[in-house]
């Protein structure tokens, strides 16, 4: 049924949350029985919810994506089975911010290069010089995740620049740059934290890279539509110092020149794999507060589940309508 091994969360009335794994062997009898009783299906990228899976789920009411992006889900197909699609945008905010700062640290302190050097060649310690302290970090926006990245960057006395004005700017001492070019020229670390849309696909191209400092680093922790070949050229010609992409298109990336650079980190797009996410999805089948769920059956939309802690061990969900892109 599936070509690769994926994790699947299944919620039923008898068992609020069951974590199971589907492999190349497909669905066994026990798992098939579980699916026929399931009413909630919680999945994560790159798991595909296709017609063959939906036919195993006659009682399915809701498909929940454990994270923000739903571009891997065929929403019109799922809706045609009378099933609603939800995402959970706030569940992974802290995890994304953590990985953003971790990638900055890994690039600044040349962790990957150090590992390679220790394994294969002798090196002088001077070749691994670098630091985050006092550098400028730039965010394409200062939204939920950008704000959390900025809060973490404050711990390293970094100066925060951003291009899209948000209320949080004063809380993190961020400096607003009216023009993208101005921001790129000043930044030591350019962190991309935008949603995937026609306007944000391949946001950083040859023109933008040429404006950046030769000592700067490009970090991406959100959507994976990049100018891959342009980035290869920039690294080869040392237009920028380094890059780190936790998401990339396609995934997994086949043999590609990007994978050959010691100053290039390609992540696993698994930053949302945290126990907080598991606990939140597990609570999906809990009783909902009245009037919190607003269902609007439109084929071009999905619904967002926004968790907030009601108690120390319980989550409630508010469902908001979001246009699918």
Q: Which of 269, 272, 302, 303 is catalytic?
A: 269
Rg (CA), the chain: 21
Active site residue 251: yes
C-alpha 298/C-alpha 51 separation (Å) is 19
Q: Which of 251, 279, 306, 324 is catalytic?
A: 251
Q: Which of 223, 226, 228, 302 is catalytic?
A: 223
Backbone angles phi, psi at 187, to 5 degrees: -90, 140
Active site residue 269: yes
Only one residue has tokens 């996410």, namely 277
Beta strand segments in 12-97, E: 18-22, 40-43, 62-65, 84-87
**185: exposed, middle or buried (Cβ count in 10 Å: 0-12, 13-18, 19+):** middle
Active site residue 272: no
Beta strand segments in the chain, E: 6-11, 18-22, 40-43, 62-65, 84-87, 136-139, 159-162, 175-176, 189-192, 217-220, 242-245, 264-266, 301-311, 314-323
User: Active-site residue numbers?
Assistant: 223, 251, 269
């Amino acid at each position: 049924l599936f070509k690769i091994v994926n994790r699947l969360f299944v919620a039923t009335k008898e068992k609020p949350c069951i974590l199971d794994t589907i492999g190349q062997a497909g669905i066994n009898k026990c798992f098939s029985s579980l699916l026929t009783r399931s009413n909630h299906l919680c999945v994560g990228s790159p798991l595909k919810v296709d017609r063959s899976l939906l036919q195993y789920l006659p009682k399915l009411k809701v498909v929940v994506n454990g994270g923000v992006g739903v571009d891997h889900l065929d929403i019109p197909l799922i809706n045609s089975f009378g099933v609603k699609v939800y995402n959970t945008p706030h569940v992974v905010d802290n995890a994304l911010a953590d990985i953003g700062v971790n990638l900055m640290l890994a690039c600044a302190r040349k962790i990957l290069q150090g590992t390679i050097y220790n394994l294969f060649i002798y090196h002088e310690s001077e070749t691994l010089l670098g630091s985050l302290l006092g550098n400028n970090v730039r965010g394409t926006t200062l939204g939920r995740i950008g704000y959390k990245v900025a809060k973490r960057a404050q711990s390293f006395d970094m100066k925060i620049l951003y291009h899209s004005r948000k209320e949080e700017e004063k809380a993190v001492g961020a400096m607003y740059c009216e023009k993208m070019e101005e921001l790129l020229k000043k930044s030591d670390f350019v962190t991309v934290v935008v949603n995937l849309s026609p306007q944000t696909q391949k946001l950083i191209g040859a023109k933008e890279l040429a404006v950046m400092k030769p000592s700067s680093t490009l970090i991406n922790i959100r959507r994976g539509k990049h100018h891959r070949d342009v980035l290869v050229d920039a690294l080869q010609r040392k237009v920028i110092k380094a890059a780190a992409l936790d998401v990339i298109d396609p995934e997994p990336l086949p043999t590609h020149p990007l994978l050959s650079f010691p100053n290039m980190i390609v992540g696993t797009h698994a930053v949302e794999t945290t126990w907080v996410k598991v606990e939140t999805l597990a609570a999906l089948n809990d009783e909902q507060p009245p009037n919190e769920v607003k269902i609007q059956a439109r084929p071009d939309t999905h619904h967002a589940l926004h968790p907030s802690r009601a108690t120390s061990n319980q989550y409630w969900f508010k469902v908001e309508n979001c246009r699918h892109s």
